[in-house]
Amino acid sequence: MTKGLNEQVEEFRNHSLADTVYPVLWVDALYEKVRIDARIVSMAVLIVCGVDENGHRNIIAVESMAEESRSSYGVLFQNLKDRGLSTPKLIISDAHSGLVSAIRESFPGASWQRGRNLSE
């Protein structure tokens, strides 16, 4: 069962984004407690939801990171670009300074708007 699940997760994490245009991205993070080396630690789970040209929402990335930072968001955005994501017109997120910096660095020309959390 785990092998099949791992394959599905890898397919999701690496599927091409080149065939769909996402003019709008919603970006958010939540924190989850996870077990690492017999300890319970809090990890950031970064989530990107793309809104396509027809208004349909698709989760295009879910990545766990040690923290929410400019660097971790930069890695996430580079991965999305490597998978074929073109620069969106608008990115909506909270005002986390590292996130806003990574958006500006990774997607020059994209507009940014402060918005509510994805979960609301």
Q: Is the pLDDT of residue 118 over 60?
A: no
Q: Is the pLDDT of residue 116 over 80?
A: no
How does residue 119 score in pLDDT terms, banded at 50, 70 and 90?
A: low
DSSP letters for 3-26: HHHHHHHHHHHH---TTS--SEEE
Q: Is the pLDDT of residue 84 over 70?
A: yes
How does pLDDT run across 47-78, given as a tens digit for each residue? 999 999 999 999 999 999 999 999 999 999 99
d(CA 3, CA 48): 25
**Would you state the pLDDT for residue 1?**
62
**Would you state the pLDDT for residue 6?**
80
Residue keyed to tokens 């073109």: 86
Please check whether residue 64 is in contact with residue 34, taking contact to mean a CB–CB distance below 8 angstroms: yes
Nearest partner of 85 among 48, 47, 46, 30, judged by Cα: 48
SS3 state of residue 47: strand
How does residue 82 score in pLDDT terms, banded at 50, 70 and 90?
A: very high
Note the residue count of the chain. Answer: 120
What tokens does 54 get?
Answer: 């027809």
Residue 87 DSSP class: P
What tokens does 115 get?
Answer: 């918005």
